[in-house]
Amino acid sequence: MNALAATNRNFRLASRLLGLDSKLEKSLLIPFREIKVECTIPKDDGSLATFVGFRIQHDNARGPMKGGIRYHPEVEPDEVNALAQLMTWKTAVANIPYGGAKGGIGCDPADLTVSELERLTRVFTQKIHDLIGVQTDVPAPDMGTGPQTMAWILDEYSKFHGHSPAVVTGKPVELGGSLGRDAATGRGVLFATEALLKEHGMSVSGQRFIIQGFGNVGSWAAQLISEKGGKVVAVSDITGAIKNTNGLDIPSLLKHSREHRGVKGFHGGDAIDPNSILVEDCDVLVPAALGGVINRENANEIKAKFIVEAANHPTDPEADEILKKKGVVILPDIFANSGGVTVSYFEWVQNIQGFMWDEEKVNNELKTYMTKGFKDVKEMCKTHNCDLRMGAFTLAVNRVARATVLRGWEA
């Protein structure tokens, strides 16, 4: 099932549990605005290259639309649409005053030089600058983008609208980025996992983790989990997969990954087939790369007791059903990876106030939001007698529906 069909399905299931009116359901499902732009840049060798960029703004009932920008060869409209919708539900679960959006450019950042990436980012910003803004739509990093990408967007946007640090989050700290944003999604994954395991009378310490993806989210999650005594027994990225049943030495793996641009070749473990990583033995599986990786082909083989969705929509609905029958507990993306957008919110607040928080305050506030989010999701599970995914979806859809109805439809 494609990402959009899967996300729509989860939304509709939640809408039915809540008993939403079908007209309201339709208005919540259709995106506010879909932007598709052609981005042509001169490459370093003088030849031209054309890319397609998207920004899909899903909903703004609860506040400015918010979500990352992804640079990846598989970026296409349905996927971005699904990711934008997920942002609406994620900001609502976190209870931060935003709606949802997502953007992306269909490109392989590994094939472009830094100056080509800068030109591409600037052209994309020129095409969408009138449609984003501090109170309308605030981009952030996602796969294949990072603080430098946000710095280029900030600079290009500010040429049109004056200096506007709050137009993007996940910026370098020197440009108004928040302390703690870089680690925030991984730290949120840790807090979410702690809340889940505590509920089952367990803690991170001593559990065996497998992490797919070793970029921003996966590497921070691995680091923070291992600092808490969790044993990370296997990790994969686009270059390969490494396993060590005694636990990988994460600081050494981070160093190796920085020096060799990937985990491949790390000597502190055995190389394994990256396609098998999700079905290796562990207690907690943390997908932190692409969507749709847990599906009907591999769901039956999964050995983990818990899945913490650090990536967006890693589990498709067929796999959800199979795993539920097997008794696997899934902590859904719209809660589990909400630490990133929550600290993006703190960054935006700091920029608007012209004031900077210290990192301890950022991390403490994040823990408060994640703990409250878990409690709110669990309450919805009780109310609707449903699993954690539907608990999170009903919580979010109800909040957005309430805001939409309160605002009214008068033209």
Ligand X SMILES: O=C(O)CCC(=O)C(=O)O
Ligand Y SMILES: NC(=O)C1=CN([C@@H]2O[C@H](COP(=O)(O)OP(=O)(O)OC[C@H]3O[C@@H](n4cnc5c(N)ncnc54)[C@H](O)[C@@H]3O)[C@@H](O)[C@H]2O)C=CC1
Residue with smaller CB distance to ligand Y, 144 or 176: 144
171 is in an annotated binding site: no
Residue with smaller CB distance to ligand X, 67 or 292: 67
Ranked by CB distance to ligand X, the top (closest) residue is: 68
CB of 2 to ligand X, least distance (A): 18
66 is in an annotated binding site: yes
- Select which of 102, 171, 231, 243 is catalytic: 102
Cα-based distances in Å from 252 to 33, 258, 259, 354: 45, 10, 11, 38
Query: What, of ligand X, ligand Y, none, does residue 107 touch, CB below 5 to 8 Å by kind?
Result: none
Sites of contact with ligand X (CB under 6 A): 66-68, 90, 140, 142, 169-170, 312, 337, 340-341, 344
185 is in an annotated binding site: yes
Query: What, of ligand X, ligand Y, none, does residue 187 touch, CB below 5 to 8 Å by kind?
Result: none
CB of 148 to ligand Y, least distance (A): 12
Query: What, of ligand Y, ligand X, none, does residue 274 touch, CB below 5 to 8 Å by kind?
Result: ligand Y
Strand pairing of 270-272 and 284-287?
unpaired
CB of 379 to ligand X, least distance (A): 23
264 is in an annotated binding site: no
CB of 239 to ligand Y, least distance (A): 7
Residue with smaller CB distance to ligand Y, 20 or 366: 366
344 is in an annotated binding site: yes
Residue with smaller CB distance to ligand Y, 143 or 154: 143
Query: What, of ligand X, ligand Y, none, does residue 67 touch, CB below 5 to 8 Å by kind?
Result: ligand X
- For residue 310, give the nearest of 216, 200, 175 by alpha carbon: 216
Ranked by CB distance to ligand Y, the top (closest) residue is: 215
Sites of contact with ligand Y (CB under 6 A): 141-144, 185, 212-218, 236-238, 274, 288-290, 310-312, 337, 340
Query: What, of ligand Y, ligand X, none, does residue 143 touch, CB below 5 to 8 Å by kind?
Result: ligand Y
Does residue 102 carry a catalytic annotation?
A: yes
Residue with smaller CB distance to ligand Y, 27 or 95: 95
CB of 291 to ligand Y, least distance (A): 6
State the catalytic residues.
102
Query: Annotated binding site for NAD(+): which residue ranges?
Result: 185, 216
Query: Annotated binding site: which residue ranges?
Result: 66, 90, 185, 216, 344
